[in-house]
Structure 1
């Protein structure tokens, strides 16, 4: 695999569009805000927050943002030369993805973007590793659609509850009571569908929020730790490094750059 560019479309004007043309590379994108509509061949695909899309090289595509709700999205352009079998990359000219682990994928795309534009030593190797993880997660989520609808619905309800209450202390027993199931059952089903436990997902949501605040606000690490419900900053630092790969003190301030796809 060779990544050619990692882009972040931010603050798109209401007249933003891409003219109809063939794609030069494979593209994987994730919409994080707003709405955008792609036309691939003769197929019209509306996308909104939480939606992903894979477009294979050579596909005729055009796109237009929603003038009333302009989009924000990450996109990665790459050549598929990996020896790893990833069915997503061999499934035709495009594949729509309704993400399950949106917050975590958003974090990984954001980390990939920062790594790519930072161009620190070995950035290409690290970027490739992050991209392979993203592709693996997306492929797993596509495969999880094979799970019974009842299990998908249960996992979604748990996710929604965590996202709404992530700053509060959340116990597994509380989640179980919320969906009227046993703690062991919801933990098993949630991991089966999403690939992680409810507690791991809670930490991921918190750390995603922490990273955004470190990048884009003047809050101190302690203030962020307290805000997110970590009473022990040392533990917060440990969880942050475990999820991001480096400690919060190594997270640089930055303003997301606007990039046209």
Structure 2
């Protein structure tokens, strides 16, 4: 999946349809949309057909529909139905070398068209809050809903990771991240981390990337860059001093990593943000 930080989401509309009695919901639907749709089945059962494949659906399932893809859904009219939906579009937005880049051909951020969420209660709650926010339409609701949608996607990703990995593996990734925070000023190695979590370096690296979307080095450098901004803003330190304090090999390597992450050099950040130039 693409890094969520690079995804800009636009919500077209949201909907909630929940019924206490069977037969109150339009049980059959077939259509093609020109945008993405996310459907959460909060009650009922039935079938879902997309790309010439048919799936059985039930409570706790997510359906992800891409633009211009015909699909049909049929719910059992003898069971009370309930669905939550979000209609949305998205694009990749990155900031490099002081320029914004837009990529509207990104891979869909949610994965396969049918997903079963085993521990779905928290996701259903988050989904419902988003839909309620959209329907209430209080001032700033579009921004709030977009933020809540990002959080919902994170919840879905984390739930999927927990299902695909053992709980023990997830704890090991968290242990690595905690160790990074504790040693933010040092240099850490893959053998060092491998010994910490009792995993081979190759398996550890693959598991970490699958869980976080970053390589171990990328993630550690990201933590260091975030810490460097804090030191530049609050510590009144020179760029060279910050690089040394965070364990970078030299000031120039630190500057390259900073610019790659933030789009400007640490010196430019120091001038524009800290000193307001």
Q: Deviations over 1:31-63 (max 9, x none)?
A: 111113211131112211111121111111111
The equivalences for 1:48-87 within 5 A come to 48-83=58-93
CA separation of 1:9/1:97 partners in 2, compared to 1, >3 Å: closer, same or farther? same
Q: Deviations over 1:189-236 (max 9, x none)?
A: xxxxxxxxxxxxxxxxxxxxxxxxxxxxxxxxxxxxxxxxxxxxxxxx
Are residues 1:6 and 2:26 paired? no
2:178 is matched with: none
1:89 is matched with: 109
Report SS of the residue matched to 1:132: helix
Are residues 1:23 and 2:33 paired? yes
Are residues 1:135 and 2:162 paired? no
Cα shift at 1:90: 7.0
In the alignment, is the contact (CA less than 8 A) between 1:52 and 1:96 conserved in 2? yes
Cα distance in 2 for residues equivalent to 1:87 and 1:141: 20
Q: Deviations over 1:89-112 (max 9, x none)?
A: 274xx5222214411111111111
Report SS of the residue matched to 2:113: strand
1:108 is matched with: 126
* CA RMSD, Structure 1 to Structure 2 (Å): 3.0
What are structure 1's unaligned runs of at least 5 residues?
153-261
Are residues 1:42 and 2:52 paired? yes
The equivalences for 1:230-241 within 5 A come to none
Cα shift at 1:4: 0.8
Cα shift at 1:151: 5.8
In the alignment, is the contact (CA less than 8 A) between 2:27 and 2:77 conserved in 1? no
Moved more, 19-28 or 66-75: 19-28
Report SS of the residue matched to 1:83: strand
Cα distance in 1 for residues equivalent to 2:32 and 2:62: 19
Cα distance in 2 for residues equivalent to 1:96 and 1:131: 19
Cα distance in 2 for residues equivalent to 1:74 and 1:124: 17
Q: Deviations over 1:227-251 (max 9, x none)?
A: xxxxxxxxxxxxxxxxxxxxxxxxx
Moved more, 9-18 or 128-137: 9-18
Cα shift at 1:24: 2.3
2:258 is matched with: none
1:192 is matched with: none
CA separation of 1:115/1:97 partners in 2, compared to 1, >3 Å: closer, same or farther? same
